[in-house]
Structure 1
C-alpha cells in the first residue's frame, strides 16, 4: 500500500508484525491523509502498556502522538494504559481491561466522526487478558485490517506468518505497509518485493 492511497481507506484497524514496527507513525499518516480529504477523524487505541507519567497521570506515548493529529485528549484515545512495558495481560496486574467499555468508547467515536482508526498493541497474536486475544477485539469492532511491516532482517517470515494468521482468524486485510525504520538496511527493497509477491498472489 502506497502512502498516497491512505486517504482512500475506510475506517480500519492497524496492527503490525511485532512491537515497535511503526504502527503509531503509520496511524498518524493515515489520519492526516483522511483529514486532507476533508474527513472528520478520530483515533482509538483501546489498550497500551509502557505508559509514562505526565502531570501526575499515566498516559500512553502513542496516544499522545495520535492526539497531536486528531486534537483528542489521550484519555479519549486510550482508556486502558499500564505502566509496565509488557504484553497487556502481564502489564494489567489488577485485571482492569474491559472489552465492553472499549466498545462503548469506539461506538461513540464512530457516531461522531467520518473515519475512526483503531490501533492495536504489539503484534497480532497478543493476549489482552487471560481470556481475550487481540483478534477478539478486532472482531468486535468489525473493521478491516492494515498490517505494518518493519522492514528488517527476518521481516519476510514475520510478515507472511502474521498475514496468514489474520486471514485464518477470518479478518479482512485491506493491505500492508512497508515501514523502513532502518534506512541503512541494504536488502530493504528485495524484502519488500518478496513480501509483495507472496501476499499479492
Structure 2
C-alpha cells in the first residue's frame, strides 16, 4: 500500500493531540501497518540521563511499531513549556521551517506505512518573526488531522483553524472531537454543529474520562476514512 502520512494539528494547546496521535498509531499497528510517530518540535522537556526528553514524543515512540532513535522522533527540544520561538530566543537559537522539514523528511525515510507528524500548540504557532509551524505541513504536503478540544469556544477555534488549513492549500483529512471539559454545556449540540460545518469526516468522538489509556482512546477512533480515501 502507499504510505499514509498526516500532520496532526490542534485547535489550541492541551487539546489532546498526543493521545489522539498515539491512538491512531496504535490502531494502525493493530491493523498490521508499520506505524511511526514524529514530534519534530517539543517544548516542555525533562532531563533524562543528561538528554532532554519530551513526554509527548516518548508516548508516540511507545505506540509506534517502527523503532527509531529519540533524536529522529524529536530533533528540536526545549526544556521550558513555553512557545517554541520564545524558548529558542532564550537560548539564542533560531527556528526555521526549512530545518524542521529537513529533519522530518529524514525521519520519514524510515520504512513505515502510516506516519503521524504531530505539531505543537495550535495551527499558527510562530517559529520566528516570519514563519509559523503551518509552514512544515505545507512544505511536506501533508494532509491534516485536526483535534478539536471540546470546550466552550471550540466552535470558533475549530472553524477558524479549518479555514486557515484550507487557505494554506492543505487537505483536511479528518478531525477528532476530544472531550476535555467534563462540565461543558450542550456537548451534543456543539458536536452536531461541528459535524455539519467541518467539511471532512469525523474520525471519532473521545469521551471524557479521568484516566483514559491510549488503547481506550483508540476504541473510539476509526482509520477507515484515512486509509480508504488517501
- TM-score between the two structures when normalised by the length of structure 2: 0.78
Which of 43, 53, 61 is residue 37 of structure 2 equivalent to?
43
The corresponding residue for 1:80 is: 76
Structure 1 window deviating more from structure 2 (189-198 vs 103-112): it is 103-112
| Paired residue total | 193
| C-alpha contact 1:15 1:121 (8 A) present in aligned 2 | yes
- Structure-2 residue corresponding to 1:3: none
| Structure 1 CA distance for aligned equivalents of residues 54 and 129 of structure 2 | 22
* Matched position secondary structure for 1:103: helix
State the Cα distance separating 1:23 from its structure 2 match: 0.3
Distance 2:13 2:6 in 1: 19
Deviation string for 1:7-50 (max 9, x for gaps)?
A: xx931000010000100000001101111121112111111111
* Equivalent pair of 2:7/2:119 in contact (CA under 8 Å): yes
Q: Corresponding residue for 1:18?
A: 12
Who is 2:86 aligned against? 90
**Aligned: 1:123 with 2:122:** yes
Q: CA deviation at 1:129?
A: 2.1
Q: For structure 2, which runs of at least 5 residues remain unmatched after alignment?
A: 201-230
Is 1:150 the counterpart of 2:144? The answer is no
For the aligned residue pairs, the C-alpha RMSD in angstroms reads 1.9
Q: Which has the higher helix share?
A: 1
Superimposed CA distance per residue, residues 150-186 of structure 1 (whole angstroms, 9 cap, x where no aligned partner): 0011111111111111111111111211001223434
Checking the alignment, whether the CA contact within 8 Å between 1:12 and 1:116 is kept in structure 2 is yes
Contact persistence 1:63–1:78 (CA under 8 A): yes
Q: How far off is 1:101 after superposition?
A: 4.0
Query: TM-score, normalization: structure 1?
Result: 0.88
Q: Secondary structure at the match of 1:32?
A: helix
Counterpart contact for 1:109–1:116, Cα < 8 Å: no
